[in-house]
Amino acid sequence: MVFFRKKKGSVEVAEVHFNLEKEQEFSSFIRYLSHPVSIAWRNFLAGTFQGLGILFGTALFLSVLSFILKQVLGEIPFFSDFATAIQTWMNTVLSSKS
């Protein structure tokens, strides 16, 4: 409940506006808490998108890192042989799956 006091112009209006906003935020929060299915659904979606973001971010980071390492370490025989062995193994695994 808002009580009005004799104050100077804009200070009174600002106080009333602030109190109304607080009451509206509180009532919307109570409506949000009264629907547990909505809370569960939002949390499920947030977790799903967070997991997908981590997955794609890690894949992009590792791709860029492997490209840079291939460019830098491609001339060293041990690393180039190792990269060729991994590529051959991946091609074998992928062709046997299809």
pLDDT in tens, 2-29: 455 555 555 566 677 777 788 888 888 8
Please state, in angstroms and rounded to a whole number, the distance separating the CA atoms of residues 55 and 48.
11
The DSSP 8-state label assigned to residue 60 in this structure reads H
pTM score:
0.49
Residue 79 burial (10 A CB sphere; 0-12, 13-18, 19+)? middle
Angle between helices 36-73 and 9-33 (to 10 degrees): 90
Residue ranges per structural domain of the chain: 9-97
pLDDT in tens, 37-71: 989 999 999 999 999 999 999 999 999 988 888 78
